[in-house]
Structure formats: C-alpha cells, structure tokens
Structure 1
Amino acid sequence: MSEISWNNSVKLILSDVDEMVADLYVPADPKIITELNQVLESGVAIFFISGHGLQGIKERVTDLLRPDLRKRVLISHCSGVEVWGYKDNGDLRDSPYHSLYDEKLNQAQRNDWRAVMDEVVEEFKLVKYPASSIPQFMKASGNNPLAVMYVDRGPQITFEVINGYDLSPEAAEKLEIKVPLTHGHYDLRIPILERAEKLLAERKLPISPRLGGVFALDFAVEGLSKTTSVKHVVDNEKILRSIGVDKDSLTNPNALEIWGDKFSVIRGGADRHMCEAVDPKVRAIDFRIENPEEFLPGYNIQVWDGDKHLQEGLLEYLQSRKTGLENTS
C-alpha cells in the first residue's frame, strides 16, 4: 500500500492528461472516469493542463465525464495557449477564458511555421504518420527510427518520435544524421530540435521547440507553458469562481494538488512547470518512476509508491480515496 494518502483538503487539482489520465490517443479507462466523477461530485475542481489539443482532451476525457459535473472542469491545451471551461449544462463555453494564439501569430507567420516544419521533415527524411494509438503506430511503422506521428493541432505541432527517442548506439550510427549522446541517450529529437530552432529563428517566428512527454517534440508559441496557464487561472478570481473554487482558499498549499508523470528536468519534464506556478509546498505526485535527484530542488514532488504507475497508478490513488474518507468518518 502506498504511503501517499488522499488529500482531503484539496479544492483544485492540476492534472496532466497523456499517460496520466488517459493513454496516448485513446480514451480514458471507464474506471478512471467513474473515480473522477466522484471527485468532482465531492466539490473538488479539476484543471487539465496538456500539450494535447482541445478536441483530443475532450474526446478522450472530458466528454466522458457527467455533463452536470463538467462545470467544475477547466482545460488548457497546446502548452497553455488557451484555457476553456464549461457551461452549467455541460457544453463547452462559446469562447475560451484566455487565448493567446491569435495575439501571438498572424496568418503569414502560421504559414511560415508550417513551411519550416515541412523543411525539417524533408531534411531529416522523416516519414509522417497520423495520430494513432502506440500499438497502431508500431504496426504501421515497424522499427523505422525516422517514422514519426505528425500532429498539427493549430497552436501546436508535435512530432511523436516513438522509435527514435532512445536509440541504441548501433541504430544511431546507421543514421545519416549525427545523433549526439545526451544524458545517456541517443535521442533523435535533439538534432531535429536544434535544426528547427535555427530555421525558426531565421524567419523570426515566435515558436519554441521543446521536448515533451517521453518521446514528443513539441513546437508551441514562444513564452507559453504550463506555468503561464496555471498562473493565469489561480490568479483569476472570476475563473476560479466559475468552477466553484474560492481564491482565498488556495492560500493553503493543501488546497492544491498536482498530478503528473514528467517532472525530471533531464528529459523535458513539462509537468514541473505546474509546480513553478504555485507555492513550492503544494504536493505534486509523479505517477512515473523517476529519479527525485532530477527534480527541481525545493518543490514538494513525491513519486507514487503504489503497485502501479501512470494512469493505472492514478486509478490506484483515486481508489484509495474511499479508504481515506472512511478513516476520517
């Protein structure tokens, strides 16, 4: 049994989505949805913050939640470019609470951005595949390290470098591209990132390439992150009120909790940015087995020590809530 017990003081949960609430490109387990409904029904609000697109988060997670409970849910997609909420009837609001896509990029810049992506794909001889589950991708692509899932979400473009993020020395040597050894791994994303960064800078495009997830390379609007998105919400009384959260209650670090699976600063660690937006005392639970020595110092990041991890670990934690409530009753 885990030593990490359910936080009975939590009012607002900040949660990653991919491999956390749902596996990549597939719907969340119905058991997780049932548990999340119960959490929402208890009066806790959930803010999903993800590099994934809005439509994908809706289809895989929030559309599966009870409509009458969605008003306690917020979504920030594509590395924080927008924050969306729900109406009382469970429909998505007509417009986001917060959007920076139109403000940051005009149409000409968006076209140039995609031209750069095409240039990178051609230069590295990448083979593009559409978004799919990992097993479907593996079946279609085989072991080709240059095969990538190419996902254009509008405000963010993602290369899922599934076969090339952790190459063997032999596989790296066979490529025409020089793949440097980075933190003990031959990661094809590194030379792609460096080349794309140069091309984007030449065109003066405000796009930032960054490592995301385990094998993702995200291209997102410069200056945006999970930090900026979370800060915008926790500092905004109107948004908090819309999901039933009293802003003053969040002065207690126990009123917030972070769920993620990528906190290591060595391998991208996008979920650490949620920690940077709040009091360092706020508990963050890492549902992936990661080395705490690779975490940001000074933050309350705890590695889940249950029997399972990732979304199965989250389910284990959610189900432990019942035991915690029984012990306090």
Structure 2
Amino acid sequence: MELTLVLLIIAVGLTFDFTNGFHDAANAIATSISTRALTPRIALALAAVMNFVGAFLGTEVAETVGSGIIGAPTGNTGLLLVLGALIGAIAWNLLTWWLGLPSSSSHALIGGLIGAALAAAGTVHWQGVLDKVVVPMLLSPLIGGLLAYGLHAAILWAFRRANPHRAGRGFRIAQSVSAAAMGLGHGLQDAQKTMGVIVLAMVTAGWQDSFHVPLWVIAVVALTMAAGTYSGGRRIITTLGRRIVHLDPPRGFAAEVVAAGVLYSTAFLFKAPISTTHTITSAVMGAGATRRLSAVRWGVARTIVTAWVLTIPGAGLTAAAAYVILRALPGV
C-alpha cells in the first residue's frame, strides 16, 4: 500500500505540475503577446524552455515547501495527507483556469497542505506560514506594483524625446529578453513547489531521511512543467494581457523586468515560495497606472484580488474534504 501511495502521489504531483504550467503560462508571456512582441506559439515555446531551465537553478524553495509549512507526517496517514493536499490544489487550479482568473498555484498548494494537515490533526508550522507565505504574499505584489510604476516612469522620462515608433520597436525586441527572464523565474519558483511535495512524500515513506531534492525529481518536474506551459492557458493570458490594462511594449517590458527581479530575489535570498501570478499581475497594474489610475480596470483587478484571498482557504477546504474521503475508502 505504501509503495502504491507514493507512486500515486508522484503521479498526482506531476499532474499538479502540469496544471501549474498551463495555468501560470500567462505569467511569463501574456504581456509579450498583448503587445505583439511575440506570437503566442513562440512565446509559449520560449516560456516552456525557460521554465525547464529555471527548475534546475535551485532547491531552496522546495525544501521550504517540504519541511517549512507542515510537520513531517508519517505512515499511510501522512501519505494520504499529501495526496489530499495535491487534489485540493489541482481542483482550485482547474476552477480558476476555467473562470480565467490568474490565481496562485503556489498558494493553492500551500493551502492544500494546511487544509489536509488540519483535517488529519497534523502539525502546521504557523510561524513558517506567516514568515514564508503570508508576509511575502502581502509584500511581493506591493513591491512589484510600486517598482513597475517607478521603472516605467523612468522609461518615459529617459525616452521622452525618442521617436515613438523606433522606441516601441526596440522595446518589443527587449520584451523577448524580459519574457525569457519571467519564464526562468517561474521555473525557479513554481517547479520547486512540486519538488518539495514529492520529496515530502518520500520522506514520509522513509525512502530518504532529508529534504534534499534528487536530480531525477528535478528533471521530471522540469519536463512536466515545460509541457504544461507549452500547452498554454489562453483564458488567463487574455485576462492578464488585455483585460486589466492596455499594455504597450515599454509597459510590458517594465512589468516583466520587475516581476522577474522579485522572483529571483525571494527565491535566492529568502527561500520564500512567492506567487509569480501575484507578482506579475501587480507589476502590470503598476506599469499601467503610469498612464493614469483610471487606465487600470479596477473592477477586473478587484475580482482577481478576491480570487487571491480565497485561494488558500478554498484549496485548504477542498484538500481537507479530499483527505476525509480518502481515509474513508475501504482498504486505505
């Protein structure tokens, strides 16, 4: 039974990884598509390749997810807890993808872990949740929005006498680089969350003693996320790239550069699993607000923020229900 559960968790974990790829593909490429800097297929291919490469850049976030959110569970009960958490996260990803809302796959997974742990009477490291999840969740969108506003304001000043057509063409080229940087950051951040859950399952089953991420786990997760990213996520791409604010190439470049910088700094310096969705969405709002505050469609933004707020409890409740159902199955 233990072997079956671990293999099932790996399979379901990779399913989550795939949904993370197509759900969050918009994070890296929506701005480049909406400004026509890249065609959709080229942008998706670029994001998939950079997601794959980014997954190999570090494992610090994976170790935080594996050991810093909940106490290491034991036995079959612990494996069912991890499986329930993944089911809750996948269900939330599919719901928000269907609705076209750029919610956070990262927070869906974390909410799933918390919900399943509470249902299983397990340990939740609330201080770790506060330090590594809640604080970054609040600060990263704020910092991303303010920095994107400031960077685009600086771009407007620096190119105030430039030929608009020539400058626009230059920023379209530059967006190829900034979109690649976003794809790399997404792979660095989001792929590690699936790695962390798979390693948590292996530690729970006693297959390994530490939360070190084996190379085969990194490779399989990277390939799965890249495949999910290439499959796209056009509903969310439309919301992020067009419905929040009208973007031109300089604004798209500013949003992507800032969001990528926030992703790298939090992964390497703070080992915090922040949301690429929250970061790029707030950066898009910040860059768009330089035209005027009313240029941002705040009604759409409010709907997105509501989805952000509901993600952890929504995924947590779904995961808790999944755990209870799994425990009630005969022979489990």
* TM-score bracket for this pair, using the shorter chain length: under 0.3
TM-score by length of 1: 0.27
Greater share of strand: 1
Select the structure with the greater relative contact order (CA < 8 A; seq sep ≥ 6). Answer: 2
TM-score, structure 2 normalization: 0.27
